[in-house]
């Protein structure tokens, strides 16, 4: 191996080293972006979980309202029918 081949070999090795450094820098940047994306996804998941819990609470309250309304209608509807019947009896008497 002569002097020129040695310099060429050294040049190729330096290019390889520089390429590896560049690749490591790009990998570090990609890792930083991935971490930021993961943090964003985690925040979105937590928000979705809170929204789901809130929706479940609203549905539970709605079910209570519907149940209360049904119970009220069971009481009010017969009274209303009796009153209408009485009023009709008074009018046509």
Q: What does the H/E/C string look like for 22-51?
A: HHHHHHHHHHHHHHHHHHHHHHHHHHHHHH
Computed over its alpha carbons, how large is the radius of gyration of the chain?
A: 39
Percent of the chain scoring above 90 in pLDDT: 91
What is the mean predicted confidence (pLDDT) over 6-30?
95
Taking the C-alpha atoms of residue 35 and residue 46, their distance in angstroms, rounded to an integer, is 16
* % helix, strand, coil for the chain, step of 5: 95, 0, 5
What is the average pLDDT across 20-33? 97
Is the per-residue pLDDT at 93 higher than 90? Answer: no
Which DSSP state fits 1? -
Average pLDDT, the chain: 95
DSSP three-state, residue 37: helix
């Amino acid at each position: 191996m002569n002097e020129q081949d040695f310099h060429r070999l050294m040049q190729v090795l330096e290019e390889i080293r520089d390429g590896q450094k560049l690749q490591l820098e790009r990998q570090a940047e990609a890792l930083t972006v991935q971490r930021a994306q993961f943090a964003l996804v985690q925040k979105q998941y937590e928000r979705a979980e809170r929204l789901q819990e809130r929706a479940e609470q609203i549905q539970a309250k709605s079910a209570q309202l519907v149940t209360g309304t049904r119970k009220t209608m069971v009481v009010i509807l017969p009274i209303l029918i009796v009153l209408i019947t009485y009023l009709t009896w008074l009018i046509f008497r």
